[in-house]
Structure 1
Protein backbone atom coordinates (compact mmCIF):
# COMPACT_ATOMS: atom_id res chain seq x y z
CA UNK A 1 0.00 0.00 0.00
CA UNK A 2 1.31 3.41 -0.86
CA UNK A 3 2.29 5.13 2.40
CA UNK A 4 0.68 8.49 2.96
CA UNK A 5 1.82 10.91 5.58
CA UNK A 6 -1.31 11.81 7.42
CA UNK A 7 -2.46 14.95 9.07
CA UNK A 8 -5.66 14.70 11.01
CA UNK A 9 -8.97 15.54 9.44
CA UNK A 10 -12.16 16.61 11.06
CA UNK A 11 -13.70 14.20 13.33
CA UNK A 12 -12.54 12.27 14.98
CA UNK A 13 -9.22 10.14 14.35
CA UNK A 14 -5.50 10.61 14.97
CA UNK A 15 -3.00 11.66 12.33
CA UNK A 16 -0.37 8.91 12.38
CA UNK A 17 3.02 9.30 10.83
CA UNK A 18 4.08 7.45 7.68
CA UNK A 19 5.83 4.58 9.44
CA UNK A 20 2.68 3.92 11.48
CA UNK A 21 0.64 3.57 8.32
CA UNK A 22 3.24 1.21 6.89
CA UNK A 23 3.02 -0.89 10.04
CA UNK A 24 -0.76 -1.12 9.81
CA UNK A 25 -0.61 -1.88 6.10
CA UNK A 26 1.85 -4.72 6.68
CA UNK A 27 -0.05 -6.15 9.64
CA UNK A 28 -3.48 -5.81 8.03
CA UNK A 29 -3.34 -6.23 4.24
CA UNK A 30 -5.90 -4.20 2.34
CA UNK A 31 -9.21 -6.05 2.03
CA UNK A 32 -9.56 -8.06 -1.15
CA UNK A 33 -6.00 -7.25 -2.17
CA UNK A 34 -5.74 -10.59 -3.96
CA UNK A 35 -8.43 -9.84 -6.52
CA UNK A 36 -12.07 -9.02 -7.02
CA UNK A 37 -13.46 -12.17 -5.35
CA UNK A 38 -14.01 -11.96 -1.59
CA UNK A 39 -12.45 -14.73 0.48
CA UNK A 40 -13.96 -16.35 3.56
CA UNK A 41 -11.70 -14.13 5.67
CA UNK A 42 -13.04 -11.04 3.91
CA UNK A 43 -16.60 -12.02 4.76
CA UNK A 44 -15.60 -12.52 8.40
CA UNK A 45 -13.92 -9.10 8.39
CA UNK A 46 -17.02 -7.53 6.89
CA UNK A 47 -19.18 -9.09 9.61
CA UNK A 48 -16.89 -7.70 12.32
CA UNK A 49 -16.85 -4.26 10.68
CA UNK A 50 -20.65 -4.34 10.50
CA UNK A 51 -20.82 -4.92 14.26
CA UNK A 52 -18.40 -2.03 14.81
CA UNK A 53 -20.45 0.19 12.48
CA UNK A 54 -23.60 -0.64 14.45
CA UNK A 55 -21.99 0.44 17.72
CA UNK A 56 -20.58 3.62 16.20
CA UNK A 57 -23.97 4.55 14.76
CA UNK A 58 -25.63 4.10 18.16
CA UNK A 59 -23.09 6.50 19.71
CA UNK A 60 -23.43 8.99 16.86
CA UNK A 61 -27.22 8.78 16.86
CA UNK A 62 -27.48 9.65 20.55
CA UNK A 63 -24.73 12.25 21.04
CA UNK A 64 -24.20 13.53 17.49
CA UNK A 65 -20.45 12.97 17.49
CA UNK A 66 -17.70 10.74 18.83
CA UNK A 67 -18.31 7.60 16.77
CA UNK A 68 -14.71 7.54 15.48
CA UNK A 69 -13.46 7.14 19.05
CA UNK A 70 -15.17 3.75 18.99
CA UNK A 71 -15.00 2.62 15.38
CA UNK A 72 -11.49 3.46 14.18
CA UNK A 73 -9.47 1.98 17.10
CA UNK A 74 -11.38 -1.30 16.70
CA UNK A 75 -11.36 -1.36 12.90
CA UNK A 76 -7.58 -0.98 12.60
CA UNK A 77 -7.22 -4.45 14.11
CA UNK A 78 -8.93 -5.74 10.96
CA UNK A 79 -7.98 -3.39 8.12
CA UNK A 80 -5.26 -0.78 7.44
CA UNK A 81 -5.73 2.59 9.13
CA UNK A 82 -6.20 4.65 5.92
CA UNK A 83 -8.85 2.19 4.73
CA UNK A 84 -10.64 2.34 8.11
CA UNK A 85 -10.58 6.14 8.11
CA UNK A 86 -11.96 6.34 4.58
CA UNK A 87 -14.64 3.71 5.09
CA UNK A 88 -15.95 5.04 8.41
CA UNK A 89 -15.84 8.63 7.19
CA UNK A 90 -18.31 7.58 4.48
CA UNK A 91 -20.51 5.90 7.10
CA UNK A 92 -20.32 8.92 9.44
CA UNK A 93 -21.24 11.19 6.54
CA UNK A 94 -24.28 9.01 5.86
CA UNK A 95 -25.25 9.07 9.55
CA UNK A 96 -24.93 12.85 9.74
CA UNK A 97 -27.11 13.35 6.67
CA UNK A 98 -29.61 10.78 7.94
CA UNK A 99 -30.03 12.56 11.28
CA UNK A 100 -29.88 16.05 9.80
CA UNK A 101 -32.59 15.31 7.22
CA UNK A 102 -34.76 13.26 9.58
CA UNK A 103 -35.92 16.31 11.53
CA UNK A 104 -34.72 19.46 9.73
CA UNK A 105 -37.31 21.65 11.44
CA UNK A 106 -35.59 21.03 14.78
CA UNK A 107 -32.26 22.37 13.50
CA UNK A 108 -31.92 25.93 14.80
CA UNK A 109 -30.88 27.96 11.78
CA UNK A 110 -29.62 30.90 13.81
CA UNK A 111 -27.17 28.58 15.56
CA UNK A 112 -25.71 26.61 12.65
CA UNK A 113 -25.55 29.71 10.44
CA UNK A 114 -23.26 31.25 13.06
CA UNK A 115 -21.12 28.11 13.36
CA UNK A 116 -20.55 27.14 9.70
CA UNK A 117 -18.55 30.24 8.63
CA UNK A 118 -16.30 29.68 11.63
CA UNK A 119 -15.64 26.11 10.49
CA UNK A 120 -14.33 27.42 7.16
CA UNK A 121 -12.11 30.00 8.87
CA UNK A 122 -10.90 27.45 11.42
CA UNK A 123 -10.03 24.95 8.70
CA UNK A 124 -7.88 27.53 6.92
CA UNK A 125 -6.18 28.47 10.21
CA UNK A 126 -5.63 24.81 11.05
CA UNK A 127 -3.99 24.13 7.70
CA UNK A 128 -1.67 27.09 8.31
CA UNK A 129 -0.78 25.94 11.82
CA UNK A 130 0.03 22.40 10.70
CA UNK A 131 3.54 23.47 9.69
CA UNK A 132 4.82 25.18 12.83
CA UNK A 133 2.50 24.38 15.74
CA UNK A 134 3.95 22.06 18.44
CA UNK A 135 1.18 19.52 17.95
CA UNK A 136 1.76 17.40 21.05
CA UNK A 137 1.60 20.37 23.42
CA UNK A 138 -1.45 21.79 21.66
CA UNK A 139 -3.14 18.38 21.68
CA UNK A 140 -2.50 17.97 25.42
CA UNK A 141 -3.89 21.45 26.15
CA UNK A 142 -7.01 20.73 24.11
CA UNK A 143 -7.43 17.38 25.88
CA UNK A 144 -7.30 19.02 29.32
CA UNK A 145 -9.79 21.71 28.26
CA UNK A 146 -12.27 19.22 26.80
CA UNK A 147 -11.93 16.99 29.87
CA UNK A 148 -12.72 19.89 32.23
CA UNK A 149 -15.82 20.79 30.22
CA UNK A 150 -16.85 17.13 30.25
CA UNK A 151 -16.61 16.96 34.05
CA UNK A 152 -18.77 20.09 34.30
CA UNK A 153 -21.38 18.62 31.93
CA UNK A 154 -21.54 15.35 33.86
CA UNK A 155 -21.60 16.93 37.32
CA UNK A 156 -24.03 19.76 36.53
CA UNK A 157 -26.17 18.35 33.72
CA UNK A 158 -29.32 20.00 35.05
CA UNK A 159 -27.77 23.40 35.61
CA UNK A 160 -25.10 24.02 32.99
CA UNK A 161 -24.38 27.67 32.35
CA UNK A 162 -26.09 29.04 29.22
CA UNK A 163 -23.57 30.85 27.04
CA UNK A 164 -24.16 33.78 24.71
CA UNK A 165 -24.71 33.33 20.94
CA UNK A 166 -21.40 35.04 20.16
CA UNK A 167 -19.61 31.91 21.39
CA UNK A 168 -20.91 30.12 18.26
CA UNK A 169 -18.27 31.83 16.14
CA UNK A 170 -15.50 30.64 18.45
CA UNK A 171 -16.99 27.14 18.47
CA UNK A 172 -16.96 27.08 14.67
CA UNK A 173 -13.39 28.33 14.42
CA UNK A 174 -12.28 25.98 17.20
CA UNK A 175 -13.95 23.01 15.55
CA UNK A 176 -12.36 23.82 12.19
CA UNK A 177 -8.91 24.14 13.77
CA UNK A 178 -9.12 21.00 15.92
CA UNK A 179 -10.65 19.04 13.07
CA UNK A 180 -7.71 19.88 10.81
CA UNK A 181 -5.01 19.41 13.45
CA UNK A 182 -6.33 16.51 15.50
CA UNK A 183 -9.39 15.09 13.73
CA UNK A 184 -11.54 16.14 16.69
CA UNK A 185 -13.97 18.71 15.34
CA UNK A 186 -17.04 17.49 17.21
CA UNK A 187 -16.23 18.53 20.81
CA UNK A 188 -16.23 22.34 20.25
CA UNK A 189 -19.64 22.20 18.55
CA UNK A 190 -21.04 19.87 21.21
CA UNK A 191 -19.68 22.02 24.06
CA UNK A 192 -21.33 25.14 22.66
CA UNK A 193 -24.68 23.61 21.70
CA UNK A 194 -25.02 21.70 24.99
CA UNK A 195 -24.74 25.07 26.76
CA UNK A 196 -27.45 26.77 24.76
CA UNK A 197 -31.11 26.77 25.73
CA UNK A 198 -32.04 24.04 23.24
CA UNK A 199 -34.28 21.03 23.52
CA UNK A 200 -32.59 17.68 23.03
CA UNK A 201 -34.15 17.46 19.54
CA UNK A 202 -32.84 20.91 18.62
CA UNK A 203 -29.41 20.03 19.98
CA UNK A 204 -29.10 16.82 17.98
CA UNK A 205 -30.46 18.24 14.71
CA UNK A 206 -28.37 21.41 14.89
CA UNK A 207 -25.22 19.45 15.70
CA UNK A 208 -26.04 17.11 12.81
CA UNK A 209 -26.10 20.05 10.37
CA UNK A 210 -22.66 21.17 11.57
CA UNK A 211 -21.39 17.60 11.33
CA UNK A 212 -22.85 17.20 7.82
CA UNK A 213 -20.81 20.18 6.68
CA UNK A 214 -17.66 19.12 8.53
CA UNK A 215 -17.64 15.46 7.47
CA UNK A 216 -18.63 16.25 3.87
CA UNK A 217 -15.55 18.47 3.74
CA UNK A 218 -13.51 15.56 5.07
CA UNK A 219 -14.82 13.30 2.30
CA UNK A 220 -13.62 15.84 -0.26
CA UNK A 221 -10.22 15.96 1.46
CA UNK A 222 -9.95 12.16 1.40
CA UNK A 223 -10.79 12.15 -2.30
CA UNK A 224 -8.04 14.69 -2.94
CA UNK A 225 -5.66 12.49 -0.91
CA UNK A 226 -6.56 9.52 -3.10
CA UNK A 227 -8.16 7.40 -0.38
CA UNK A 228 -11.60 7.42 -1.99
CA UNK A 229 -10.59 7.12 -5.63
CA UNK A 230 -10.82 3.32 -5.63
CA UNK A 231 -14.14 1.45 -5.35
CA UNK A 232 -13.20 -0.73 -2.36
CA UNK A 233 -13.91 1.69 0.54
CA UNK A 234 -17.18 2.70 -1.13
CA UNK A 235 -18.24 -0.92 -1.67
CA UNK A 236 -17.29 -2.04 1.82
CA UNK A 237 -19.04 0.98 3.36
CA UNK A 238 -22.11 0.09 1.29
CA UNK A 239 -21.90 -3.52 2.49
CA UNK A 240 -22.00 -2.56 6.19
CA UNK A 241 -24.40 0.37 5.69
CA UNK A 242 -27.45 -1.71 6.78
CA UNK A 243 -25.77 -2.32 10.14
CA UNK A 244 -25.06 1.40 10.49
CA UNK A 245 -28.67 2.28 9.68
CA UNK A 246 -29.82 -0.31 12.22
CA UNK A 247 -27.61 1.41 14.79
CA UNK A 248 -29.23 4.76 14.00
CA UNK A 249 -32.65 3.15 14.38
CA UNK A 250 -31.68 1.76 17.79
CA UNK A 251 -30.25 5.15 18.77
CA UNK A 252 -33.50 6.90 17.86
CA UNK A 253 -35.40 4.54 20.17
CA UNK A 254 -32.95 5.19 23.00
CA UNK A 255 -32.91 8.94 22.26
CA UNK A 256 -36.67 9.21 22.74
CA UNK A 257 -36.27 7.90 26.28
CA UNK A 258 -33.41 10.18 27.28
CA UNK A 259 -34.10 13.45 29.09
CA UNK A 260 -32.22 16.64 28.22
CA UNK A 261 -30.15 16.23 31.39
CA UNK A 262 -29.40 12.65 30.43
CA UNK A 263 -28.34 13.78 26.97
CA UNK A 264 -25.99 16.40 28.43
CA UNK A 265 -24.45 13.73 30.65
CA UNK A 266 -24.05 11.43 27.63
CA UNK A 267 -22.37 14.27 25.76
CA UNK A 268 -20.16 14.78 28.80
CA UNK A 269 -19.11 11.13 28.73
CA UNK A 270 -18.18 11.35 25.04
CA UNK A 271 -16.33 14.63 25.67
CA UNK A 272 -14.41 12.91 28.46
CA UNK A 273 -13.51 10.09 26.08
CA UNK A 274 -12.38 12.66 23.51
CA UNK A 275 -10.27 14.51 26.08
CA UNK A 276 -8.64 11.33 27.36
CA UNK A 277 -7.98 10.17 23.80
CA UNK A 278 -6.27 13.47 22.97
CA UNK A 279 -4.13 13.28 26.12
CA UNK A 280 -3.09 9.69 25.42
CA UNK A 281 -2.12 10.59 21.86
CA UNK A 282 -0.22 13.67 23.06
CA UNK A 283 1.72 11.77 25.72
CA UNK A 284 2.16 8.55 23.74
Structure 2
Protein backbone atom coordinates (compact mmCIF):
# COMPACT_ATOMS: atom_id res chain seq x y z
CA UNK A 1 0.00 0.00 0.00
CA UNK A 2 1.51 3.34 -1.06
CA UNK A 3 1.42 6.68 0.75
CA UNK A 4 -1.59 7.99 -1.16
CA UNK A 5 -3.65 4.89 -0.38
CA UNK A 6 -2.75 5.21 3.30
CA UNK A 7 -3.76 8.88 3.41
CA UNK A 8 -7.05 8.11 1.66
CA UNK A 9 -8.07 6.30 4.83
CA UNK A 10 -8.47 9.77 6.36
CA UNK A 11 -11.47 11.32 4.55
CA UNK A 12 -10.23 14.92 4.82
CA UNK A 13 -10.88 17.59 2.22
CA UNK A 14 -8.73 20.64 1.61
CA UNK A 15 -10.62 22.80 4.13
CA UNK A 16 -10.45 19.98 6.68
CA UNK A 17 -6.66 19.87 6.40
CA UNK A 18 -6.46 23.65 6.91
CA UNK A 19 -8.64 23.49 10.02
CA UNK A 20 -6.72 20.53 11.47
CA UNK A 21 -3.37 22.17 10.73
CA UNK A 22 -4.50 25.44 12.30
CA UNK A 23 -5.73 23.58 15.41
CA UNK A 24 -2.37 21.83 15.78
CA UNK A 25 -0.42 25.07 15.28
CA UNK A 26 -2.56 26.90 17.86
CA UNK A 27 -2.23 24.02 20.33
CA UNK A 28 1.56 24.09 20.10
CA UNK A 29 1.69 27.85 20.47
CA UNK A 30 0.09 27.21 23.88
CA UNK A 31 2.51 24.32 24.47
CA UNK A 32 5.46 26.57 23.63
CA UNK A 33 4.31 29.05 26.29
CA UNK A 34 2.87 26.78 28.99
CA UNK A 35 4.48 23.40 28.37
CA UNK A 36 1.17 21.52 28.20
CA UNK A 37 -2.43 21.96 27.07
CA UNK A 38 -2.33 20.67 23.49
CA UNK A 39 -5.37 18.43 23.96
CA UNK A 40 -7.39 21.16 25.66
CA UNK A 41 -6.84 23.39 22.61
CA UNK A 42 -6.78 20.94 19.70
CA UNK A 43 -9.10 18.24 21.09
CA UNK A 44 -12.43 20.07 20.69
CA UNK A 45 -11.56 20.82 17.05
CA UNK A 46 -10.03 17.47 16.10
CA UNK A 47 -13.01 15.60 17.60
CA UNK A 48 -15.02 16.88 14.61
CA UNK A 49 -12.80 14.86 12.27
CA UNK A 50 -11.68 11.73 14.17
CA UNK A 51 -12.49 9.73 17.32
CA UNK A 52 -10.87 10.59 20.65
CA UNK A 53 -9.14 7.18 20.66
CA UNK A 54 -7.10 8.44 17.66
CA UNK A 55 -6.66 12.05 18.79
CA UNK A 56 -4.87 11.27 22.05
CA UNK A 57 -2.26 8.90 20.52
CA UNK A 58 -1.74 11.40 17.69
CA UNK A 59 -1.05 14.26 20.11
CA UNK A 60 1.19 12.02 22.22
CA UNK A 61 3.38 11.43 19.16
CA UNK A 62 3.63 15.16 18.51
CA UNK A 63 4.14 15.93 22.21
CA UNK A 64 6.99 13.42 22.27
CA UNK A 65 8.87 15.47 19.70
CA UNK A 66 8.07 18.79 21.39
CA UNK A 67 8.50 17.87 25.07
CA UNK A 68 12.23 17.23 25.13
CA UNK A 69 12.97 20.67 23.74
CA UNK A 70 11.47 22.04 26.95
CA UNK A 71 13.34 19.62 29.20
CA UNK A 72 16.95 20.03 28.08
CA UNK A 73 17.55 23.72 28.92
CA UNK A 74 16.15 23.41 32.48
CA UNK A 75 17.20 19.91 33.55
CA UNK A 76 19.65 21.19 36.22
CA UNK A 77 16.78 22.82 38.16
CA UNK A 78 14.73 19.62 38.39
CA UNK A 79 13.77 18.71 41.98
CA UNK A 80 14.48 14.99 41.86
CA UNK A 81 12.74 14.05 45.14
CA UNK A 82 9.46 15.53 43.88
CA UNK A 83 9.95 13.97 40.45
CA UNK A 84 10.57 10.53 41.95
CA UNK A 85 7.57 10.95 44.24
CA UNK A 86 5.21 11.73 41.35
CA UNK A 87 6.53 9.35 38.68
CA UNK A 88 5.20 6.00 40.05
CA UNK A 89 1.75 7.50 40.65
CA UNK A 90 1.75 9.05 37.19
CA UNK A 91 2.68 5.69 35.61
CA UNK A 92 -0.22 3.96 37.38
CA UNK A 93 -2.61 6.71 36.26
CA UNK A 94 -1.36 6.54 32.66
CA UNK A 95 -1.93 2.78 32.59
CA UNK A 96 -5.50 3.16 33.85
CA UNK A 97 -6.16 5.97 31.35
CA UNK A 98 -4.92 3.93 28.38
CA UNK A 99 -7.09 0.98 29.44
CA UNK A 100 -10.16 3.22 29.65
CA UNK A 101 -9.35 4.98 26.36
CA UNK A 102 -9.02 1.76 24.39
CA UNK A 103 -12.03 0.00 25.92
CA UNK A 104 -14.74 2.63 26.45
CA UNK A 105 -17.21 3.36 23.67
CA UNK A 106 -16.58 6.48 21.59
CA UNK A 107 -19.76 8.24 22.71
CA UNK A 108 -18.84 7.68 26.37
CA UNK A 109 -15.34 9.06 25.74
CA UNK A 110 -16.81 12.08 23.97
CA UNK A 111 -19.12 12.77 26.92
CA UNK A 112 -16.27 12.39 29.41
CA UNK A 113 -14.03 14.73 27.42
CA UNK A 114 -16.79 17.34 27.25
CA UNK A 115 -17.29 17.13 31.02
CA UNK A 116 -13.54 17.33 31.60
CA UNK A 117 -13.11 20.48 29.50
CA UNK A 118 -16.21 22.10 31.03
CA UNK A 119 -15.10 21.43 34.61
CA UNK A 120 -11.59 22.64 33.84
CA UNK A 121 -12.96 25.85 32.28
CA UNK A 122 -15.19 26.54 35.29
CA UNK A 123 -12.29 25.85 37.64
CA UNK A 124 -9.99 28.21 35.72
CA UNK A 125 -12.57 31.02 35.68
CA UNK A 126 -13.88 30.79 39.23
CA UNK A 127 -11.12 29.37 41.42
CA UNK A 128 -8.58 32.15 41.79
CA UNK A 129 -6.92 31.06 45.05
CA UNK A 130 -4.40 28.28 44.47
CA UNK A 131 -3.03 26.03 47.25
CA UNK A 132 0.00 27.66 48.88
CA UNK A 133 1.44 24.56 50.54
CA UNK A 134 0.42 20.97 49.87
CA UNK A 135 1.87 18.03 51.78
CA UNK A 136 3.93 15.38 50.00
CA UNK A 137 0.99 12.98 50.41
CA UNK A 138 -0.84 14.92 47.70
CA UNK A 139 1.64 13.47 45.18
CA UNK A 140 -0.42 10.25 45.17
CA UNK A 141 -3.80 11.66 44.02
CA UNK A 142 -2.27 14.45 41.90
CA UNK A 143 0.15 12.10 40.13
CA UNK A 144 -2.37 9.31 39.63
CA UNK A 145 -5.26 11.47 38.42
CA UNK A 146 -2.90 13.63 36.35
CA UNK A 147 -1.53 10.53 34.64
CA UNK A 148 -5.03 9.17 34.02
CA UNK A 149 -6.23 12.49 32.57
CA UNK A 150 -3.08 12.69 30.45
CA UNK A 151 -3.67 9.28 28.90
CA UNK A 152 -7.44 9.60 28.64
CA UNK A 153 -7.81 13.23 27.53
CA UNK A 154 -4.22 14.21 26.66
CA UNK A 155 -3.99 16.84 29.41
CA UNK A 156 -3.11 16.24 33.04
CA UNK A 157 -0.31 18.79 33.37
CA UNK A 158 -2.39 21.32 35.28
CA UNK A 159 -2.62 18.94 38.28
CA UNK A 160 1.16 18.52 38.34
CA UNK A 161 1.46 22.30 38.19
CA UNK A 162 -0.86 22.86 41.17
CA UNK A 163 1.13 20.39 43.27
CA UNK A 164 4.64 21.50 42.25
CA UNK A 165 3.97 25.22 42.52
CA UNK A 166 2.76 24.76 46.08
CA UNK A 167 5.99 23.00 47.09
CA UNK A 168 8.85 24.42 45.03
CA UNK A 169 10.30 27.78 43.94
CA UNK A 170 9.16 28.88 40.49
CA UNK A 171 12.28 27.83 38.55
CA UNK A 172 12.41 24.40 40.20
CA UNK A 173 8.66 23.92 39.73
CA UNK A 174 8.86 24.77 36.01
CA UNK A 175 11.86 22.50 35.45
CA UNK A 176 10.33 19.60 37.39
CA UNK A 177 7.03 20.01 35.57
CA UNK A 178 8.85 19.93 32.24
CA UNK A 179 10.68 16.72 33.24
CA UNK A 180 7.43 15.16 34.42
CA UNK A 181 5.61 16.03 31.19
CA UNK A 182 8.49 14.50 29.20
CA UNK A 183 8.37 11.30 31.29
CA UNK A 184 4.58 11.19 30.98
CA UNK A 185 4.86 11.43 27.21
CA UNK A 186 7.33 8.54 27.11
CA UNK A 187 5.12 6.40 29.36
CA UNK A 188 1.99 7.08 27.30
CA UNK A 189 3.85 6.53 24.03
CA UNK A 190 5.16 3.19 25.30
CA UNK A 191 1.73 2.06 26.54
CA UNK A 192 0.08 2.96 23.23
CA UNK A 193 2.85 1.14 21.34
CA UNK A 194 2.44 -2.00 23.47
CA UNK A 195 -1.33 -1.84 22.92
CA UNK A 196 -0.72 -1.84 19.15
CA UNK A 197 -2.15 1.63 18.51
CA UNK A 198 0.86 2.68 16.45
CA UNK A 199 0.67 -0.40 14.27
CA UNK A 200 -1.79 1.64 12.20
CA UNK A 201 0.34 3.26 9.50
CA UNK A 202 -2.27 5.92 8.58
CA UNK A 203 -2.02 7.34 12.12
CA UNK A 204 1.78 7.54 11.92
CA UNK A 205 1.59 9.16 8.50
CA UNK A 206 -0.96 11.71 9.77
CA UNK A 207 1.39 12.63 12.62
CA UNK A 208 4.22 13.04 10.11
CA UNK A 209 2.06 15.33 7.95
CA UNK A 210 1.21 17.50 10.97
CA UNK A 211 4.81 17.90 12.15
CA UNK A 212 5.30 21.19 10.21
CA UNK A 213 2.18 22.70 11.87
CA UNK A 214 3.46 21.51 15.25
CA UNK A 215 6.92 22.98 14.63
CA UNK A 216 5.44 26.30 13.51
CA UNK A 217 3.25 26.57 16.60
CA UNK A 218 6.10 25.63 18.90
CA UNK A 219 8.38 28.22 17.31
CA UNK A 220 5.75 30.96 17.65
CA UNK A 221 5.03 29.99 21.26
CA UNK A 222 8.69 30.12 22.22
CA UNK A 223 9.16 33.43 20.46
CA UNK A 224 6.22 34.86 22.40
CA UNK A 225 7.70 33.53 25.63
CA UNK A 226 11.01 35.24 24.86
CA UNK A 227 9.27 38.55 24.10
CA UNK A 228 7.05 38.61 27.15
CA UNK A 229 8.30 39.18 30.64
CA UNK A 230 7.40 36.61 33.25
CA UNK A 231 4.65 38.93 34.43
CA UNK A 232 3.37 39.20 30.88
CA UNK A 233 3.34 35.43 30.49
CA UNK A 234 1.39 35.17 33.73
CA UNK A 235 -1.23 37.66 32.53
CA UNK A 236 -1.66 36.05 29.11
CA UNK A 237 -2.00 32.57 30.63
CA UNK A 238 -4.03 33.52 33.68
CA UNK A 239 -6.38 30.66 33.01
CA UNK A 240 -3.57 28.19 33.66
CA UNK A 241 -3.30 27.17 37.29
CA UNK A 242 0.19 28.27 38.17
CA UNK A 243 1.87 31.59 38.83
CA UNK A 244 4.18 31.79 35.84
CA UNK A 245 3.01 29.44 33.15
CA UNK A 246 6.18 29.36 31.05
CA UNK A 247 8.25 26.29 31.68
CA UNK A 248 11.42 27.83 30.30
CA UNK A 249 13.92 29.28 32.77
**Which residue of structure 2 lines up, in the alignment, with residue 49 of structure 1?**
20
Report how far residue 55 of structure 1 moved. 0.6
CA contact (8 A) 1:162 1:197 kept: no
Residue 161 to residue 56, structure 1, CA distance change in 2 (3 Å):
same
Distance (whole Å) between structure 2 residues aligned to residue 92 and residue 100 of structure 1: 12
CA contact (8 A) 1:150 1:269 kept: yes
Q: Could you list the per-position Cα deviations for residues 169-212 of structure 1 after superposition, in whole angstroms to 9, with x for gaps in the alignment? A: 4422332344466654223212112323422x543332222112
CA contact (8 A) 1:123 1:177 kept: yes
Residue 122 to residue 44, structure 1, CA distance change in 2 (3 Å):
closer
Output the aligned Cα RMSD.
4.1
- The answer for unaligned runs of 5 or more in structure 1 is 1-31, 272-284
Report how far residue 33 of structure 1 moved. 10
**Which residue of structure 2 lines up, in the alignment, with residue 217 of structure 1?**
187
Q: TM-score, normalised by structure 1?
A: 0.63
Q: Could you list the per-position Cα deviations for residues 224-274 of structure 1 after superposition, in whole angstroms to 9, with x for gaps in the alignment? A: 4433112222222122212212212222222232426853872x5145xxx
Alignment equivalent of 2:62, drawn from 91, 98, 103: 91
Distance (whole Å) between structure 1 residues aligned to residue 119 and residue 15 of structure 2: 39
CA contact (8 A) 1:107 1:205 kept: yes
> Aligned pair 1:187/2:158, yes or no?
yes
> Aligned pair 1:115/2:92, yes or no?
no
> Aligned pair 1:250/2:208, yes or no?
no
**Which residue of structure 2 lines up, in the alignment, with residue 106 of structure 1?**
77
CA contact (8 A) 1:104 1:205 kept: yes
CA contact (8 A) 1:46 1:240 kept: no
Distance (whole Å) between structure 2 residues aligned to residue 82 and residue 33 of structure 1: 23
Report how far residue 36 of structure 1 moved. 4.4
Residue 265 to residue 123, structure 1, CA distance change in 2 (3 Å):
same
Deviates more, 1:239-248 or 1:169-178: 169-178
Number of residue pairs the alignment of both structures matches: 230
Residue 82 to residue 142, structure 1, CA distance change in 2 (3 Å):
closer
Q: Could you list the per-position Cα deviations for residues 103-154 of structure 1 after superposition, in whole angstroms to 9, with x for gaps in the alignment? A: 32233323222211221344467789999xxx999x97997699557644xx
SS at match of 1:255: helix
Distance (whole Å) between structure 1 residues aligned to residue 167 and residue 239 of structure 2: 18
Distance (whole Å) between structure 1 residues aligned to residue 214 and residue 100 of structure 2: 35
